[in-house]
Amino acid sequence: MYRTLAELRDSINQMIESQGENAGCAAFVFTQNDVFEYNEEMTEEHRFPELFTQNVLCDVGGCDYIYEQVGEVIDDAIRLRKKLPIYSVRNCQSIKNR
């Protein structure tokens, strides 16, 4: 889901209001500062124009694969804590080691 930081702040404030400020959460936030290429030859970062960067972040936010993977990790974490077989965890050592 693509949002501006202000929109994200508003959503977080609504979640705090409905769930309480001490409610647990896990979050991944990617911003314009994460959209760059690194040129190893010249050891420098290449930043992109604002519209290009917004389009890249829209693509990331609209990617169902990311949400499916997070859903699988949540399902496996629940199954682990219920002492049921885990099916989909591949590389998440924090879950495997619990």
Instruction: Give the whole-angstrom CA distance, residue 94 versus residue 96.
Output: 6
Query: How many distinct structural domains can be found in the chain?
Result: 1
* 27 domain residue, yes or no: no
For 3-41, give one letter per residue: b (16+ CB within 10 A) or e. eeeeeeeeeeeeeeeeeeeeeeeeeeeeeeeebeeeeee
pLDDT for residue 94 is more than 80: no
* 32 domain residue, yes or no: no
Range of the domain at 74: 63-98
Of 29-33, 49-53, 76-80, 91-95, the range with the lowest mean pLDDT is 91-95
* 77 domain residue, yes or no: yes
- Record the pTM: 0.74
* 26 domain residue, yes or no: no
Give me the pLDDT at residue 43, please.
83
* 89 domain residue, yes or no: yes
* 16 domain residue, yes or no: no
* 51 domain residue, yes or no: no
* 55 domain residue, yes or no: no
- How do residues 33-74 score in pLDDT, each as one tens digit? 999 998 888 788 999 999 999 999 999 999 999 999 999 999
Mean pLDDT (the chain) is 89
